[in-house]
Amino acid sequence: MPGFLDQLLQGVNSASRIVTSSYVFSTKTILLLKDLATGGSGSRNIPVRLREAFEELGATYIKLGQFIASAPSLFPEEIVTEMQKCLDSVRPLPFSDIQKVLKKELGRDYQKLFQSIDPAPMASASIAQVHSAVTKDGLDVVVKVQRPDIEGALGADLNLLFLASKLFEIFVPGLNKSGLSEMVGMFQSSILEEIDFIKEANNCEEFERYLLSSGETRARVPKIYRELSTKKVLVMEKFYGAPITDEVSLRKFSKDPSKTLSDALEIWFSTLSKSGFFHADVHAGNLMVLRDGTVGFIDFGIVGRISSKVWEGLMIFLEGLALNRTDRIASGLVRMDGTAKGVDEKKLAKDLETVFDQMSKMVLDIQMGELDAFDEKKMNTILFEFRDISDRNGLKIPKEFGLLIKQILYFDRYIKSFAPELDLIRDREKFIK
């Protein structure tokens, strides 16, 4: 009865994980009490002890720390600030642990599939570790390997977190309307997507199909080697180039940096407008200029899909942003919610004025060359305020809206670095072809 045995093992692992979590948190609590007993400031140490506990408990809690850091409207400022230290770069696993995963996923003779695998990782994150390799056919690839037992730990952690969020909403005054459990649910669905490398491979190839069907030659995605990939191992072509924000490399690999950036933006926008599919994590590490001058899109662990109504609403929203008109922004938000009925757009526009001023200032500062004006903390604060105002006015903003706005502002920041003559918000129609 393998099904029963699997369920029993999963139950044991979950119970063990809960015990481990309880032990770590109780240990940090004891340290806090010790701080207080010796005259220290326990309240000041709470964020530090909490962050230490998250890092000790690993992937789920590191990701949760990052989530808290990006949600300043939901959590106290001192905790948000401390959680900024929960970076996704963690201590590398010994290569022997990586080999165990490779043996389990690709077979005990997996080494016959490769000429070599560099035991030193290219990158080490909370969910996976990446190594350079050469296939048996002499192809340069990168091998993304999921950390051992991460799936079981995530399942137990996420169920515990969701239950805790529900209990907090019931027993803590003021949290019942905060949407905390909904946010934990979004966090849960997002992280579960990231640990399925088959989905990531599918996303990458979906983007590639669009490029091929449209005859697009200005951009590429890594080739996925399906015969070497599983849910926990992803083998793909190794790209040679540099992050698109590396000014020296950009000018080295591209004769016209402004055009390269414009091409990248046009490709991203056209994919979104024609297929509703978009790369939802175009930070500098995931957008490259390759040695031949083409644009390389990598890491499709986070993508988004939108309906035609959301697309239409986004265009109206950006028009309002460009023209400083809150009435158009309100119309755009209403358009995004296909179920909205009887919304008072004038009242919505009035309520949006303060948060609109914050976003307008951020966009203006970026366009004036102040590239530090855009950061995750400010952006998430604005997006949560948009959500709260929309909720109060009977609107439900799709979760993809926040992803879209972030990607657009990422691009706007890149443009102001290397192509200041372009104005993404004002000239958005130029990029939609």
In one-letter notation, the amino acid at residue 382 is: I
Of the listed 35, 157, 281, 351, which one is catalytic? 281
Mean pLDDT for the stretch of residues 377-406: 78
In one-letter notation, the amino acid at residue 42 is: G
> What's the pLDDT band for 126 if we cut at 50, 70, 90?
confident
Verify whether residue 281 is a known catalytic residue: yes
Mean pLDDT for the stretch of residues 344-369: 80
> What's the pLDDT band for 121 if we cut at 50, 70, 90?
very high
Q: Map residue 256 onto helix, strand or coil.
A: coil
Give the per-residue pLDDT at 228: 97
pTM: 0.77
Give the per-residue pLDDT at 391: 82
Give the pLDDT confidence of 211-268 residue by residue, as tens digits. Answer: 999 999 999 999 999 999 999 999 999 999 988 877 787 888 988 888 888 888 889 9
CA distance 210 to 201: 14
Mean pLDDT for the stretch of residues 312-337: 88
CA distance 48 to 70: 17
Q: Return the minimum-mean-pLDDT range out of 164-173, 331-340, 410-419.
A: 164-173
Give the per-residue pLDDT at 72: 53
Q: Report the first-to-last Cα separation within the chain, whole angstroms.
A: 56
In one-letter notation, the amino acid at residue 159 is: N
The DSSP annotation for 287-355 comes to EEEETTS-EEE---SSEEE--HHHHHHHHHHHHHHHHT-HHHHHHHHHHH-TT--S--HHHHHHHHHHH
For residues 110 and 92, is the Cβ–Cβ distance under 8 A? no
Mean pLDDT for the stretch of residues 202-214: 95
User: What percent of the chain has a predicted confidence (pLDDT) above 90?
Assistant: 28
For residues 61 and 69, is the Cβ–Cβ distance under 8 A? no
Give the pLDDT confidence of 19-33 residue by residue, as tens digits. Answer: 555 555 556 555 555
How far, in Å, are 55, 281, 377 from residue 74 at the CA level? 21, 23, 12
Residue 10 has pLDDT above 50, yes or no: no
Q: Return the minimum-mean-pLDDT range out of 4-18, 73-87, 159-173.
A: 4-18
For residues 250 and 242, is the Cβ–Cβ distance under 8 A? yes
Residue 7 has pLDDT above 50, yes or no: no
Tell me which of 283 and 230 has the higher pLDDT. 230
